[in-house]
Structures are given as C-alpha cells and as structure tokens.
Amino acid sequence: MGSPVLATIRLTLYLLFTLLLMPVQWVALRTSPRLAVALPLFYHRICLRILGMRVERHGEGNGRHPTLFVVNHCSYLDIAVLGSLIGGSFVAKAEVAGWPLFGWLAKLQRTVFVDRQRRAGVSGQRDEIANRLEAGDDLILFPEGTSSDGNRILPFKTALFAVAERRVAARPLVVQPVTIAYVRLDGIPLGHGLRPFYAWYGDMDLGGHLWKAAGLGDCTVAVEFHPPVTIDDFGSRKALAAHCRAQIVAGMDRALAGRWSADDQPAAPAPA
C-alpha cells in the first residue's frame, strides 16, 4: 500500500529542507531566543505540507507562558503536528537523543530528555523540567510514556505531574490537556485497522514505517486543545493527571467518531 515514487519525493524534500534549516536553528539558539522559538513552528508547518498532512485544530492554546501541554502520544509524527501549533519544547525519553537525525532535531528544539527507567534520577529530571518552566518556556509532555496504536489512550505516568505542584512567579502552573488523533486518509475515515499506518508503537521499525506513511495520500490529523487548568483546581497531581486523561480520552472519542466538523473549533478559555 502506498506509492514508492511519492515516498521518495516527499522524503527527499523533507531531508533537504531539514538540512537547510538545521544550521539556521543552531545559530538562532545562540543569537536570537525569539527566532529559536518561531523557526520550529515554520519548519514543522512546511514539513507537514511536504508529507501531505493536514491539521484540524479544535480550540486554542491558552496563550499563557509558561504552560505544560499534556498530550496523548501516537507517533513520531506527533512532533511535527504539535510543533506546528505550539511554540514550545518537548519532554522525551532519553533514547531519542541518540536517534539519527531525529535526535539532532530534538536537541535543536531544546527537548528535555528524561530516563523513566532510572528512578534515582527522577527528582533531578523533575527539577530540570521545573527550571525550564520557571524560565518561561512552554513544554509538551507525553504522560503515557510511550506511543499507542492511535485507537486508545494508555494509562498516564503521574510522576512528572509533580512539576505542577510548584509555583511559577507565585502562580500555579497552567496545564492544558491536548488530544491528537489521526482521523482521515484522502478524506476517508481511518478505521481501527488502518490507523497503525500512522501510529508507531511496539517494535515497529522506524525507517520502514516512515517510508510507508510517506507513500500514502493526504492524512488529516485532529488536534483538540481542552480548557487549561491548574493543580489548585484538583488538590493533587494524581487528580490533575486523572482529569487530563479524562479530557483527552473524551477528545479522542469525538475525533475517531467524527462528532465534529472542520469548522467546529471551540476556543478554550484562559484561566483567570
């Protein structure tokens, strides 16, 4: 399934564009913090066009800085989708840093790498995340800890929600749940069995999966920004995590059932 010719064209353009922008971002990180945030937004939006991916956004980012965006995780493609909408950095598992190309791109976007298997270092990793938030950086967290098959939401790991217990400039940290779902291929709803053409999970080979995905038609991805909250609304990180998961699950159900239109984009209110 898919066109090898289309995959070749798309991946060649993607690689050339990436190699062109990488040194520019490297310079921006050292000379212009504002450009270093804006350039990845531009980069990811162009990459989505190259790869034939269209994003339907429902709701809005709350606009407060810093914000911790909590998102379900389906695929490495989530990075481009979310990176085209949010001017922030990702929190990723430590092994991503060693991936060819994708590891370099993650470092250029100032990704925070965490080793979830090394319990002794969890406190220090939380401190690193907290320091970035206190500096005003928006961060994007995948609390499932791994990617799913795109049809369901895995249980959340709540340890890193502890950063929400800290105050930022004497105010509670804003946390915004976000749902991402791969919903249509060439305008036709993706069924349960076809969604893994985009979802990447388990022991799937990354190169082979990317080749197949790039050779398919145009994919529509639904992204819903849910109303932002703070830990003060719930009293504990576990209750906050449970709320975020419930919001994301409801958004996934709506997206996969097609219970909204492309024009239905309710704005999420900013916290007072």
pLDDT digits (tens, 9 = 90+) for 77-112: 999 999 999 999 999 888 888 888 888 999 999 998
Report residue 196 as tokens. Answer: 């893994």
Q: What is the mean pLDDT of residues 190-204?
A: 86
pLDDT confidence tier of residue 116, bands split at 50, 70 and 90: low
pLDDT at 263: 46
* Domain annotation covers residue 238: yes
* Domain annotation covers residue 270: no
Distance of CA 76 to CAs 72, 124, 232, Å? 12, 26, 32
* Domain annotation covers residue 237: yes
pLDDT at 98: 83
pLDDT at 119: 56
Better-predicted residue by pLDDT, 1 or 81: 81
* Domain annotation covers residue 172: yes
Query: For the segment 40-84, what is each residue's pLDDT rounded down to a tens digit?
Result: 999 999 999 999 999 999 998 888 889 999 999 999 999 999 999
pLDDT at 264: 52
* Domain annotation covers residue 267: no
Lowest model confidence (mean pLDDT) among 67-81, 163-177, 207-221: 163-177
pLDDT at 246: 96
In this predicted structure, the answer to whether residue 265 has a pLDDT above a threshold of 70 is: no
* Domain annotation covers residue 225: yes
- Work out the percent of the chain whose per-residue pLDDT is above 70: 91
Classify each residue of 117-153 as buried b or exposed e, where b means 16 or more C-beta atoms within 10 Å of its C-beta. Answer: eeeeeeeebbeebbebbeeebbbbbbbbeebbebbeb
Distance of CA 200 to CAs 76, 204, 239, Å? 7, 6, 29
In this predicted structure, the answer to whether residue 137 has a pLDDT above a threshold of 60 is: yes
Taking the model in full, what pTM does it have? 0.90
pLDDT at 260: 65
Which of 222, 214, 218 shows the shortest CA–CA distance to 188? 218
What distance in Å separates the CA atoms of residue 47 and residue 8, rounded to the nearest whole number? 14
Helices (H) and strands (E) in the chain, counts: 7, 10
> In this structure, what CATH number is given to the domain that contains residue 39?
3.40.1130
* Domain annotation covers residue 272: no
Residue 165: what residue type? E
In this predicted structure, the answer to whether residue 266 has a pLDDT above a threshold of 60 is: no
Number of compact structural domains in the chain: 1
pLDDT confidence tier of residue 195, bands split at 50, 70 and 90: confident
* Domain annotation covers residue 94: yes
Full residue range of the structural domain in which residue 114 is found: 4-257
Better-predicted residue by pLDDT, 13 or 92: 13
Q: What is the mean pLDDT of residues 163-188?
A: 90
In this predicted structure, the answer to whether residue 271 has a pLDDT above a threshold of 80 is: no
